[in-house]
Amino acid sequence: MSSTPSSAPKATPLFAAYGLATRVLAPIAFRKVAAKLRAYGLPDARVGERKGRASLPRPKARLIWFHAASVGESLSILTLINRLGELDPTLEFLITSGTPTSAELIEKRMPPRCRHQFPPLDHPAYVRRFLAHWKPDLAVLVESELWPNLIVQTRAAGCPLVLLNARLSAKSVASWQKRRDTAAFLLSQFSQFITQNQKTADNLRAIGAPADRIRPGSNLKALAAPPQVDADLLTQAQSDIGTRPIWIASSTHEGEEEPVITAHQRLLKNHPTLCLVLIPRHPERGDTVEQMLRDAGLSTARRSHGENATEQTQVYLADTLGETGTWYALSPLVFLGGSLLEIGGHNPFEPAHHGCAVATGPGTFNFAETYDDMIADGAACEIQDADTLAAQIDNWLNDAVALSKACTAARTFISHQSDLLDQTADLLLSQLNS
């Protein structure tokens, strides 16, 4: 594998200072990270992965390493890994992600010849230890995981680097533009950038990425398989709720349940049998959300307590992980959270895969172009508050034709993304074989 050309941007004093800082701070950060992993019930062997100590052997075949930040990014690459494995049955795969939640979900859904590890913290020695064991033949960083030591050490080890599904917030671009020499140095380590959209491609060029290595693409999450449906749970929920109308509020954050509850109270005036399935983004907030519902006078059943809905249940609190696909299959009327506040929004492709009409707040900057396209196509609509949310759900409940059009638009939107999977796989294989 070729080394970085001598004409490429050089390491900067800022990068050197960062390296010194991580040598001091990473051991402190490790203690905090280790405590969280142990609290989740993980053994010391897995905790040690954050220092680059592998808990699994390296396979003898060529290995592609994917690194993603958390649950959404990690799950978005599984379909791509499946496709790569079909195109080349000799390949092996490693996925690293930083949260125990993502590890748990990935290990339930991993494609063949794949394994999961936690990534090393961005300390030069930890990264070198990780690379010395795994010796990846291709490294694929997903979205915006730009850890300087990891990037530079990986390239120095002779491994080609790809930034996949690249996205940069306006804040990140402004910050990197003030440090353009360092940005150019780090970006020069990559052999290919596959961006979510043209805007990100332009932003990468603006902060020093080599223009000939940038390929505008589409959001990788559109290519992921639909969230899984538990057929037994779906049948049970359908039996419990019966013919009552249902709507979904998914991935809600602190500060969003209040307007959802207010909207539901207003909807109950016109639809007295209506049931809301409320899915907090973080299930550990279940106690807090349940108390809010009871304070609002709403009869509630809670999934994590093994409770089923009844004819009197006004809200079903689905405070569990990995079951959103089942709830999307239960009802096509979805409000997707992380959007009424400036959180950035959550993955709209998941409900769209199930043919759901999506209502979203305005705070969706992480999926801005996706929502723009979905709204233009009629697959989604933007609401502002409890009043407009209630009005939109009421409209879909009353107008079957309008709801059907929105659901059809969602399925059509997803179908247009599917041909990008092979293009992305071919690009990665070309980097592996270069």
From the list 73, 143, 145, 257, the catalytic residue is: 73
CA distance 354 to 227: 8
256 is catalytic: no
- The amino acid at residue 286 is G
- What residues are paired with 249 via a beta bridge? 278, 335
Beta-carbon contacts of residue 350 (< 8 Å; ≥ 6 apart): 221, 224, 226, 227, 324, 325, 328
Find, among 208, 256, 182, the residue nearest to 17 by Cα: 182
Which distant-in-sequence residues (6+ apart) come within 8 Å of 319 by Cβ? 279, 280, 283, 285, 286, 289, 290, 302, 303, 304
**Token pair of 42, please?**
């993980």
Catalytic residue numbers read 73
